[in-house]
């Protein structure tokens, strides 16, 4: 099965050797997405709600570029710098997945730079 690299227009430049997304068959995998703008600058420093919104909008653009939508997401992996931000992150997250939310987990973790408060990676299964 050929693997297709997914790089939506306006994507942030990767911080390491990876692609924003990859598609194999009907499956789309996003890399861990951080709150970076197209110039690689942090969005929403100190504001987990703003960072969560930016991250989920970025994930949406990756999945749409692969031919799907957020309704196709089956799993999200959420990493928070501080679990004290859980409620604020969850409030924004609920706006993106209001019905039939995907499976997920959320863990506290050190992220690649101290200004990042949330990172999310997604798996989607596109309709055949």
By annotation, the residues acting in catalysis are 106
Cα–Cα distance, 28 to 26 (Å, whole number): 7
Q: Order of strands, edge to edge, in the sheet holding 21-24?
A: 3-6, 21-24, 27-30, 118-125, 73-80, 103-108
108 has which bridge partners? Answer: 80
């Amino acid at each position: 099965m050929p693997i297709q690299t997914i790089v939506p227009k306006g994507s942030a430049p990767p911080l390491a050797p990876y692609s924003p997304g990859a598609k194999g068959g009907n499956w789309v995998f996003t890399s861990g997405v951080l709150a970076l703008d197209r110039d690689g600058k942090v969005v929403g420093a100190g504001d987990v709600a703003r960072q969560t919104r930016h991250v989920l909008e970025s994930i949406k653009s990756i999945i749409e570029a692969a031919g799907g939508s957020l309704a196709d997401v089956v799993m999200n992996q959420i990493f928070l710098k501080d679990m004290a931000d859980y409620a604020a992150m969850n409030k924004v997250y609920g706006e993106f997945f209001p019905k039939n939310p995907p499976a997920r987990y959320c863990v506290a973790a050190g992220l690649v730079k101290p200004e990042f408060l949330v990172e999310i990676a997604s798996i989607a299964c596109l309709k055949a």
